């Protein structure tokens, strides 16, 4: 009998696809429960101050209202690492929009009306909510997310820069960005017989379970958190959030299951966002564009509640060769919500600044932008001084240029017209770390010849469930219809959070090892036949992952964009985006392409549309819905293509690098560079919108 065809590397539809399109897949607030109650969060209306009076009388009289939780009435919580999660514990207000009360009622409508009737009086204080280069609170954090050195220095940047034939010194700015997953942050919580069950919209239920255990003084074994289906997260659900805490608190208070989903408007603050960033890039090069000196200084913000330091300049430590290098990060603590992860944190905004500056350097040197990047490519990590596990940036640039038709490009900016449209093209490089965290997985063989694989991975819409199933099928060497996989439940073997483009690499390694171990035992004990009573094997890859080669491991990519700008109105259209990536072994081409073009689309949205507009008088964003905070839609790009090149990586036994975030890195810069090529105008502050162009375009 011939062996089954390999599953890895073949396009396969999502295992849960039918359940999702038929509406039978259950998300966090779709699980049925007897006696269900509903929560509605109340948010602070001041940016800084103290609650001095609470009046819940009218709210409690509202028919159907069961309880109103405030700092005066909420159950006490035990301290945890994140002060953000000590909800309703004290009267201080640290930012406008902070959750200061929760109304619980028998219907969603009653909870919402009760929330409207809660009366809170404040003693307000002066607030500071606008990030500037010279903000008095700026300081050097001990490290940047997650544990990178704050500053680095190689060689002598100042001397190298001063000696360079060509010098560039520019500042780039990006605003606050908000994740806005399709499924809002939501949870349903039940208490029964001293146990707590929570259905949460989370990227990692292990962390949620351990956090709830500490908050409520419960042993981990008495808590179960599930996230079988999650409607997106982009990092905002990568750490425990307010929703499972509030739902569990309310359920204990009223003695009934409680369902809580934040509204779209409520997502703009309490659940994290990408910090605004001010970046200064200085490049020194010879006349041929070869870098001699590079410096990247980044300024971002955090809240007064806790520190989150975005690692904005970290990619500059690795992407291009230069003997003299410096990167720095500084942080301002403002009266704003705490920023957090958003797809490719650090690398995404950092790449806009660096890749825009590289484009400006290409213009200054009279060198083609693709050729400039090739001249500064390196097989050796510029700071660590050792070879990469694999580095195929050059292959991405060359293949992308060929597919895009880059060779026909006229380098002169602002000279191509198609009727009333100015036409231009742009390019940018991409880089993102390739991580392989350890995880536990279990593989079991049943007496009926079927197999069950269990791991507490989380599929947030990426296709992770299907990719892990494909890895399991190949490792077991059996037909796919005999293999089932269970994920998204804290009762399963623990695994790393769905983040950092590390899921398929880390989870996949543990699934592969568990399935191969099971297969060996079946061969040794039962000659490859089904065991009479079943057989189960559990594997933890923490030690193996820690022992992998220490070579620098990154995914790479190159973006190519065509932009058109209306000469009369300044309207910008992007008819074509093309990306080529080096991401190791691709497990499922179908879902891989979906992830890559999703990231590219988010980069386009970052470049042209998204912007958190802060009203400094109130310390809050004024565009708190998808009508005023525009996110790129299908109509905003006519053609988007994603490809990949062969990439043999020696840093992971499966050859997998992960690709969830590389698609967004550099894509905004490619759009901005294309707009410059079309118009001759360099926009260094995102988003690029018609009001920034229209008065500067040629007449007619």
d(CA 65, CA 104): 6
d(CA 659, CA 649): 14
d(CA 332, CA 218): 36
Beta bridge partners of 277: 174, 300
- The two tokens of residue 303 are 């809240």
Beta bridge partners of 298: 279, 329
- The two tokens of residue 427 are 């390019």
Whether residue 100 contacts residue 88, with contact meaning beta carbons closer than 8 Å, is answered with: yes
d(CA 135, CA 423): 40
CA-wise closest residue to 49 among 120, 114, 136, 127: 127
661 as an active site residue: the answer is yes
Burial state string for 654-688 with b = 16 or more CB within 10 A and e = fewer than 16: bbbbbbbbbbbbbbbbbbbbbbbbbbbbebbebbb
Alpha-carbon Rg for the chain, nearest whole angstrom, is 26
- The two tokens of residue 367 are 């060198």
3-state secondary structure 228-271: CCCCCCCCCCCCCCHHHHHHHHHHHHHCCCEEEECCCHHHCCCC
Phi and psi for 619 in degrees, rounded to 5? 65, 35
Query: What residue spans of 487-574 are helical by DSSP H?
Result: 503-526, 542-546
Query: What residue spans of 62-121 are helical by DSSP H?
Result: 108-117
d(CA 179, CA 239): 14
Going along 286-399, which residue ranges are E strands?
291-303, 324-334
Start-to-end Cα distance in the chain: 72
Annotated active-site residue in 62, 228, 611, 661? 661
d(CA 313, CA 353): 9
Query: What's CA 221's distance to the chain center, in Å?
Result: 30
**Pseudo-torsion of CA 130, 134, 138, 140, nearest 10°?**
130
- The two tokens of residue 594 are 């979906």
Helices 347-365 and 589-608 sit at what angle, rounded to 10 degrees?
Answer: 70
3-state SS class at 99: strand
Element (H, E) at 572: strand 572-582
DSSP 135: -
Catalytic residue set: 661
């Amino acid at each position: 009998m011939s062996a089954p065809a390999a599953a890895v590397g073949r396009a396969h539809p999502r295992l849960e696809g039918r359940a999702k399109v038929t509406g039978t897949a259950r998300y966090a607030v779709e699980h049925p429960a007897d006696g269900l109650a509903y929560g509605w969060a109340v948010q602070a209306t001041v940016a800084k101050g103290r609650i001095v009076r609470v009046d819940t009388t009218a709210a409690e009289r509202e028919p159907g209202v069961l309880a109103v939780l405030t700092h005066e009435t909420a159950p006490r919580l035990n301290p945890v690492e994140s002060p953000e999660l000590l909800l309703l514990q004290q009267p201080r207000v640290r930012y406008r929009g902070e959750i200061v009360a929760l109304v619980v009622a028998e219907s969603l409508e009653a909870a919402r009306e009760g929330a409207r009737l809660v009366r809170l009086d404040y003693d307000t204080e002066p607030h500071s909510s606008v990030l500037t280069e010279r903000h008095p609170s700026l300081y050097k954090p001990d490290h940047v997310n997650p544990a990178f050195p704050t500053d680095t220095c190689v060689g002598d940047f100042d001397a190298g820069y001063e000696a360079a034939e060509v010098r560039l010194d520019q500042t780039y700015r990006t605003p606050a960005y908000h994740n806005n997953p399709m499924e809002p942050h939501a949870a349903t919580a039940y208490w029964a017989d001293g146990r707590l069950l929570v259905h949460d919209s989370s990227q990692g239920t292990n962390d949620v379970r351990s956090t709830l255990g500490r908050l409520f003084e419960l042993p981990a074994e008495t808590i179960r958190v599930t996230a079988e289906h999650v409607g997106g997260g982009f990092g905002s659900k990568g750490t425990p959030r307010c929703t499972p805490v509030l739902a569990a608190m309310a359920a204990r208070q009223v003695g009934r299951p409680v369902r809580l989903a934040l509204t779209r408007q409520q997502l703009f603050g309490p659940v994290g966002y990408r910090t605004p960033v001010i970046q200064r890039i200085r490049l020194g090069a010879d006349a041929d564009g070869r870098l001699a000196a590079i410096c990247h200084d980044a300024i971002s913000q955090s809240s007064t509640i806790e520190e989150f330091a975005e690692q904005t300049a970290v990619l500059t430590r690795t992407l291009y060769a230069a003997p003299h290098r410096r990167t720095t990060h500084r942080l301002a603590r403002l009266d704003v919500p705490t920023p957090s992860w958003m797809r490719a944190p650090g690398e995404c905004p950092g790449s806009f600044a660096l890749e825009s500056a590289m484009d400006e350097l290409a213009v200054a040197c009279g060198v083609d932008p693709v050729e400039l990047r090739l001249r500064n490519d390196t097989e050796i990590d510029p700071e660590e001084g050792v070879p990469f596990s694999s580095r195929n940036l050059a292959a991405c640039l060359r293949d992308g240029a060929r597919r895009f038709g880059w060779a026909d490009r006229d380098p002169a900016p602002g000279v191509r017209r198609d009727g009333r449209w100015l036409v231009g093209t742009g390019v940018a490089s991409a880089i993102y770390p390739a991580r392989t965290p350890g995880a536990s997985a279990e593989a079991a063989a049943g007496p009926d010849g079927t197999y069950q694989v269990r791991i507490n991975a989380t599929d947030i819409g990426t296709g992770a469930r299907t990719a892990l199933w494909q890895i399991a099928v190949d490792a077991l060497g059996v037909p796919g219809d005999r293999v089932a996989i269970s994920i998204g439940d804290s009762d399963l073997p623990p695994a790393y959070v769905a983040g950092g483009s590390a899921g398929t690499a880390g989870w996949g390694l543990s699934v592969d090892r568990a399935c191969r171990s099971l297969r060996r035992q079946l061969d040794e004990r039962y000659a490859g036949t089904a065991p009479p009573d079943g057989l189960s094997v559990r594997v933890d890859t923490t030690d193996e992952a820690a022992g992998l080669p220490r070579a620098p491991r990154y995914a790479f990519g190159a973006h190519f964009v065509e932009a058109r700008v209306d000469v009369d109105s300044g309207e910008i259209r992007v008819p074509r985006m093309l990306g080529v990536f080096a991401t190791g072994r691709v497990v499922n081409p179908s879902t891989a392409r979906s992830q890559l073009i999703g990231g590219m689309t988010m980069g386009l949205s970052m470049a042209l549309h998204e912007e958190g507009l802060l009203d400094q008088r109130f310390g809050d964003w004024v565009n708190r819905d998808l009508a005023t905070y525009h996110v790129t839609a299908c109509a905003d790009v006519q053609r988007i293509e994603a490809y990949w090149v062969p990439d043999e990586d020696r840093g992971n036994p499966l050859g997998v690098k992960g690709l969830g975030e590389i698609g967004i890195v550099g894509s905004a810069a490619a759009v901005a560079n294309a707009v410059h090529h079309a118009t001759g105008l360099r926009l260094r502050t995102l988003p690029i919108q018609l009001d920034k162009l229209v008065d500067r375009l040629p007449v007619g």
